[in-house]
Amino acid sequence: MQRKPISSRSSARAATAPAPLLPWLVLPLAALVLLLSALAASAEETIRSHAYSFFGTPKYPADFSHLDYVNPDAPKGGEIALWTQGTFDSFNPYSRKGVAAWGASLPVERLMTSTDDEIGVSYCFICESLEYPADQSWVIFTLRPEARFSDGTPVTAEDVVFTHNLFMEQGLPSFREGVARIISKVEALDERHVKFTFQPDSSLRDRIDQAGATPVLSKAFMEANNYRLDESNDTPILGTGPYVLDSYVTNERVVYRRNPDYWAKDLPLKRGQYNFDTIRVEYFADSDAAFEGFKAGAYTFRIENSSKQWATGYDFDAVKNGTVVKAELPNGAQASGQAWVFNLRREKFQDIRVREAIQRMFNFEWSNETLFYGLYARITGFATNSYNEAKGKPSPEELAVLEPLADILPPGVLTDEAVMPPVSGKRQLDRKQLRIASRLLDEAGWTVGDDGIRRNAAGETLRVEFLEYSPAFDRVDQPFIENLKALGVDAVLNRVDTAQYVERARSFDFDLITDHLSIGYEAGSGLEQMFGSKEADISLFNTAGLAHPAVDALIEVAKNARSREEMIAAMRALDRTLRALRFTVPQWYKDVHTVAYYDMFEHPETIAPYNLGYLDYWWFNEEKYQALKASGALR
């Protein structure tokens, strides 16, 4: 298809049937010509840029040399070795079938990318520019001529169209549903220009961001290998990324190597990044075995998620003599929303009184002091540690969003302070919370029998299963379960292997499961996949199966906000409403990254506020590595 040239200030008007002239005859001819010219220019005027932000101005201009938080002269070389838990049997990161290996998505890049020191800004990456009209009814991306897949073949507009269509045919149902509501058509105008046309009733906030988030796969590779996105596959997908698979031993190890011919290595967006020659990932059956492996030098970099390990485990010689660095680095990111999530698809959890009663039996204060060594703060809801977090009573701006929904809002949202997790005392079983929870369950029809177990009118026991795969959670789950048993709940812990866990989570076969549910910084289509009614029955991201009309309405308001202030008010209203529905038991977070690593890695003095970036902009010190080898600390 031949591309029609479009300039950034085009005044060429599309051919249309002539409009009736009679209403204009009262105007002088010169004025009529000027008016028609202005209308034509307005209709066709386009914006061309290297970046896109719905609100505000991108931080980095078109001619920037490198990102502020990287070392542009970082040396290349060396290996970073990590750990993960479980097993794998696939290198297809998009299929519901099988368990994908760690890093299976490393080869895949998108048309646009974001930085780690901005919110809500996308920069052209595989594309070199984007062009769109003021009404954002379409966008045209101009691809970089140097963009290459890792086999050296060029990226073309046809690859972009193919990838979009492939995901719409074989991608996750919730993804297909969400994208189809935004993008109506994708077409290659020529080899380097691809046009996305948007659904006329879609949110303006979503349009260009969704198009720019399109991953780019090689059409030739996918077709030659008959590669389906919805099937498990032990062949890695061919993409444009900086790392490719080097070797693997199933369920033991995966090694990725840096592509020395990576097409974007000199782009300002990527300068000083992807510095390790290899990334090795060791698989362990559980976290205890993994920690022992780290102490023995089986791998070299560890993000520590266990407060007990952080407080008591790092007293071995390698830490004492400086061989291993133990560091707390700043983390300015929104809390992940980590929580136990109720499966609302199960009838017993559809009564909010049951959910609140269970929620009240987790004693965070006792857990933080006794189990977590005081290292954590409580997650309040779905936007903790960010400007989207609801606090106190609704502000006038929030009320303007909430009041039109008064008839469908959960009780108290308009008048009360934002729902906070219950505060318990210093004893594991807080008697006050136990009394409140008992009353709630009694009111909900779950009464205590002679054996101390609660049953409903049908004689069914109130059984609650905690589904886990990591033994590290046992010490947290068990006291919670003991408190629930004191309440008369038949609570149990079921720890399964990774494959079973993944399968049960994907098929929604659970009572309570740990997940991370946050609304993020900016409203987008992801909110619908995570909290919306339309995807409640099919979306793997809507863990709870939440379907509530007020939530749907607030998502739409947030997505269609025309200013950052309006969006923040809507997002706070959404956080407030989600918290009032009590479909999670909020867990905990910390505002620092707790990391340990062998003293051969270095990073810029300033850590990016929204990403630790250890695989992105850290680097390897060869001299330090040789010293560690000479000392016997590393094999």
**The predicted structure's pLDDT at residue 44:** 63
Q: How confident is the model at residue 41 (pLDDT cuts 50, 70, 90)?
A: very low
Asked whether residue 609 carries a pLDDT value surpassing 60, the answer given is yes
Q: How confident is the model at residue 534 (pLDDT cuts 50, 70, 90)?
A: confident
Q: How confident is the model at residue 205 (pLDDT cuts 50, 70, 90)?
A: confident
- 71 CA to centre of own chain: 26
Asked whether residue 403 carries a pLDDT value surpassing 60, the answer given is yes
Three-class secondary structure of residue 342 per DSSP: strand
Residues 91 and 250 sit within 8 Å (Cβ to Cβ) = no
Residues 559 and 203 sit within 8 Å (Cβ to Cβ) = yes
Q: How confident is the model at residue 34 (pLDDT cuts 50, 70, 90)?
A: very low
Average confidence (pLDDT) over 510-536: 91
Average confidence (pLDDT) over 104-123: 96
Three-class secondary structure of residue 495 per DSSP: strand
Average confidence (pLDDT) over 108-115: 97
CA–CA separation, 124 and 58 (whole Å): 12
Q: How confident is the model at residue 1 (pLDDT cuts 50, 70, 90)?
A: very low
Backbone angles phi, psi at 368, to 5 degrees: -65, -40
CA–CA separation, 616 and 604 (whole Å): 11
Residues 79 and 257 sit within 8 Å (Cβ to Cβ) = no
The percent of residues above 70 in pLDDT, for the chain, comes to 93
Residues 399 and 456 sit within 8 Å (Cβ to Cβ) = no
Asked whether residue 499 carries a pLDDT value surpassing 80, the answer given is yes
Three-class secondary structure of residue 589 per DSSP: strand
Kindly report which listed range (79-88, 175-184, 401-410, 439-448) carries the lowest average pLDDT score. Answer: 175-184
234 Cβ contact list (under 8 Å, min separation 6): 89, 90, 91
- Backbone region of residue 417 per phi and psi (left: phi > 0; alpha: psi in -120 to 50; beta: other values): beta
Average confidence (pLDDT) over 483-505: 95
Asked whether residue 5 carries a pLDDT value surpassing 80, the answer given is no
Backbone angles phi, psi at 391, to 5 degrees: -140, 140
Three-class secondary structure of residue 555 per DSSP: helix
Q: How confident is the model at residue 452 (pLDDT cuts 50, 70, 90)?
A: very high
Residue appearing with tokens 């629930």: 484
Q: Look over the chain and give the mean of its residue pLDDT values, rounded to a whole number.
A: 91
**The predicted structure's pLDDT at residue 6:** 31
Average confidence (pLDDT) over 3-30: 34
Count of alpha carbons within 13 angstroms of residue 292, beta-carbon side? 5
**The predicted structure's pLDDT at residue 536:** 86
Residue with the bigger pLDDT between 536 and 102: it is 102
Average confidence (pLDDT) over 374-383: 95
- Distances in whole angstroms, Cα of residue 270 to Cα of each of 59, 83, 117, 459, 631: 16, 25, 14, 62, 35
CA–CA separation, 267 and 62 (whole Å): 12
Helices (H), ranges, 213-286: 219-224
117 Cβ contact list (under 8 Å, min separation 6): 59, 67, 68, 69, 608, 609, 610
Any idea what the Cα angle at residue 159 is, between residues 157 and 164, rounded to 5°?
Answer: 100
DSSP 14: P
Average confidence (pLDDT) over 540-569: 94
CA–CA separation, 430 and 353 (whole Å): 18
Q: How confident is the model at residue 24 (pLDDT cuts 50, 70, 90)?
A: very low
CA max distance for the chain:
95
**How many angstroms separate the first and last alpha carbons of the chain?**
58
Asked whether residue 30 carries a pLDDT value surpassing 50, the answer given is no
Which two three-digit tokens encode residue 113?
A: 């990318």
The domains located in the chain, with CATH, are: 1-44 (no CATH), 51-224 (3.40.190.10), 272-333+593-631 (no CATH), 338-589 (3.10.105.10)
CA dihedral (250, 254, 260, 264) positive or negative: positive
CA–CA separation, 257 and 28 (whole Å): 71
